[in-house]
Amino acid sequence: MLDQTLVFLQALLDQTGAVNVTWQNLVMIVIGATMIYLAITKHYEPLLLIGIGFSCIVANVPGPPDDVPGGKAISALLYVVKDGGLFHYAYEGVAKLIIPPLIFLGVGAMTDFGPMIANPRLVILGAGAHLGIFVALILAKMVGFTINEAGAIGIIGGADGPMAIFVAVKLAPHLLGPISVAAYSYMALMPMIQPPVMRLLTTKKERQISMAQLRKVSKVEKIAFPVVIAIIVNLFFPPVAPLITMLMLGNLFKECGVTERLAKTAAGPFMNVIIIILTVAIGGTMAGDKFLNLQTVMIVVLGLIAFVFGTASGVLTAKIMNLFLKEKINPLIGSAGIASVPIAARVSHIVAHEENPNNYLIYHAMGPNLAGVFGTAISGGILLALLGAK
Amino acid sequence: MQAMIPDTLQGALILSAIDFFLSFVIISGIGVVLALFPLMNRVGKARVKSRRKTDQRDAVASEADEQHVAVIAAAVYATMAGAYRIVSIEPARREGDWVTEGRVAHHLSHLPKH
């Protein structure tokens, strides 16, 4: 009787995923829990990290082997094996490039491009801060990735989640999971990554530079901006047209003044829904058996290198500009040329504020920060064009 | 479309150099375009100025109407016998004497009858 009971209990246990837990699952569950911890206690981009972290945990809870062809147990989400269902289509929305342009619609509807229009010379920082893309690209090629894979990895340095996804899908779709995780995770960790680099490359005096108030930008300029930019960027970089079109459309909704309900919807509830779907999709790709390998570790390290070099190159570009400018710019805003809006601008402001409590650089830093969005789009567009991506 | 860049380290270096350089050029071009944006405000200002001028002319015209009425009434009182009532003020048309004659006859018909 006892033997029968034990057999019965064993059979019951075999129907669960508990017997299929691996060390990779446990590691990824810890990583997911760490993301949630950082989001709640440190407030590191909670809108992203909560969803990604939770989905990462759930993606590493293995399912029962009977549901899986070949008897290998994978995530209980079963988004890869079974067609249909929320998680499957959430991932497909990312892989089929439906989600990234919709994110940009919301971003455009939330963004005031006034700081960029008010001080056009700062857009140079949006290009200068992207050296990190190419450092990572070259290093990725050196360690053995193909040039397409290296391009997709390098774009992490642009700190633009939708663009990183977009380029990864076009150039290296098999690396979409680790690239999107690296991009969004580093964006959220920017307050930790950037300040040491910024302090290393600037003197106290430079960090205390105050900047004059920017001119007022008229409504006409703000309405003309999305139309003009959409034409210019789409004309020269058709591969990134879907992203730029939606970014500028969202901005036009915001600025034209006659589509307030559309702008509010795009920036509010609609964006929230898209973020939920995106974070679930990204976190759902972080299954331990697929994620924890040497390739992913290299991508994560290269992404960090891209961010560090991007920060450094932005600051150095600002310092070079100061050699030619009468009215000096605070070099800390150079690091905001990385596209992560408005995180990078906020970091520049906070570091400057620590040095001089009377210094409010957020509006100035938004100029290069916004220019960085176009810088990433342009860099990505050129990559896609030169590497023959359709 | 085929890739233009070979899948080698040299290709990666060339790709990076071209991309970085072109990014600077295109972004600078966008900066130049943005630097021209304030010109749009001048067009807007010119339109607002002309609209204001028309408004001012209208305002001046309406003020002048009252002044004109007062002046004309005084002139009529001073030059023509009896009391007169001003019915309308119209721009003077220089078509000819017949029109002038007609105008005089018309004005005379408005003599108040006590």
Q: Which residues pair with A75 in a beta bridge?
A: A62
Closest listed residue to residue A137, CA positions, set A344, A311, A383:
A383
Phi and psi torsions of A259, nearest 5°: -130, 50
Q: Do A232 and B9 touch (CB under 8 A)?
A: no
CA distance A280 to A47: 11
Cβ atoms < 10 Å from Cβ of B94: 7
Residue with tokens 């360690």: A143
pLDDT of residue A34: 92
Contacts of B5 in chain A (CB under 8 A): 147, 386-387
Among the partner-chain residues A124, A134, A382, the one whose CB lies closest to the CB of B31 is A124
Contacts of A386 in chain B (CB under 8 A): 3-5, 15, 18-19
Structure tokens belonging to residue A76: 């209980």
CA distance A371 to B34: 11
Measured between CA atoms, the residue of chain A closest to residue B26 is A378
pTM recorded for the entire structure: 0.75
Among the partner-chain residues B3, B15, B20, the one whose CB lies closest to the CB of A131 is B20
Measured between CA atoms, the residue of chain B closest to residue A222 is B37
Residue with tokens 């860049």: B5
CA dihedral for B8, B12, B18, B23, sign (positive or negative): positive
- State whether residue A124 sits within 8 Å of chain B by CB: yes
Structure tokens belonging to residue B14: 């060339």
Residues contacting A277, CB < 8 A, separation 6+: A90, A93, A99
CA distance A63 to A226: 48
CA distance B39 to B36: 6
Phi and psi torsions of A329, nearest 5°: -105, 150
CA dihedral for A286, A244, A246, A43, sign (positive or negative): positive
DSSP structure string for A16-75: SSGGG--HHHHHHHHHHHHHHHHHHHS-S-HHHHHHHHHHHHHHTSB--GGGSGGG---B
- A153: closest CA of chain B, how far (Å): 12
Taking the alpha carbons at both ends of chain A, their separation in whole angstroms is 66
CA distance A103 to A52: 16
CA-CA distances (angstroms) from residue A277 to A64, A99, A282, A387? 25, 8, 9, 30
Contacts of A171 in chain B (CB under 8 A): none
CA distance A144 to A177: 19
Rounded to an integer, what is the distance from CA A250 to the centroid of its chain?
19
- Quote the DSSP letter at residue A75: B
Closest listed residue to residue A155, CA positions, set A388, A277, A338, A314:
A338
Q: Residue A168 carries which side chain, given as an amino acid letter?
A: A
Q: What is the residue extent of each domain of chain A? A: 83-386
Contacts of B27 in chain A (CB under 8 A): 123-124, 126-127, 371, 374-375, 378
Q: SS3 breakdown of chain B: % helix, strand, coil, rounded to 5? A: 70, 0, 30
Q: Do A387 and B5 touch (CB under 8 A)?
A: yes
Among the partner-chain residues A131, A134, A388, the one whose CB lies closest to the CB of B3 is A388
* Tens digit of each residue's pLDDT (9 = 90 or more) over B39-90: 888 776 655 555 555 555 544 445 456 777 888 888 887 777 666 777 777 6
CA dihedral for A180, A278, A283, A347, sign (positive or negative): positive
Q: Residue B83 carries which side chain, given as an amino acid letter?
A: A
* Tens digit of each residue's pLDDT (9 = 90 or more) over A82-124: 567 777 788 888 888 899 899 999 999 999 999 889 999 999 9
- B54: closest CA of chain A, how far (Å): 23
Closest listed residue to residue A165, CA positions, set A236, A257, A96:
A96
- State whether residue A320 sits within 8 Å of chain B by CB: no
pLDDT of residue A82: 55
Under-70 pLDDT residues of chain A? 15, 64-83, 389-390
Q: What is the three-class DSSP state of A330?
A: coil
Residue A190 near residue A159, CB atoms below 8 Å: yes
CB-count exposure of residue B107 (10 Å: 0-12, 13-18, 19+): middle
pLDDT of residue A227: 96
Q: Residue A82 carries which side chain, given as an amino acid letter?
A: K
- Preceding amide of A120 cis, omega within 30: no
- A191: closest CA of chain B, how far (Å): 26
Q: How many CB pairs under 8 A join A and B?
A: 119
* Tens digit of each residue's pLDDT (9 = 90 or more) over B12-46: 999 999 999 999 999 999 999 999 999 888 776 65
Residue B89 near residue B72, CB atoms below 8 Å: yes
Cβ atoms < 10 Å from Cβ of A202: 24
Structure tokens belonging to residue A64: 């029962």
Q: Residues of A numbered 148-207 whose beta carbons fall under 8 angstroms of chain B's beta carbons: which are they?
A: 148, 150-151
Output b/e per residue, B28-62; b: 16+ Cβ within 10 A. Answer: eebbeebeebeeebeeeeeeeeeeeeeeeeeeeee
**Number of residues in chain A:** 390
**Number of residues in chain B:** 114
Cβ atoms < 10 Å from Cβ of A71: 8
CA distance B111 to B89: 16
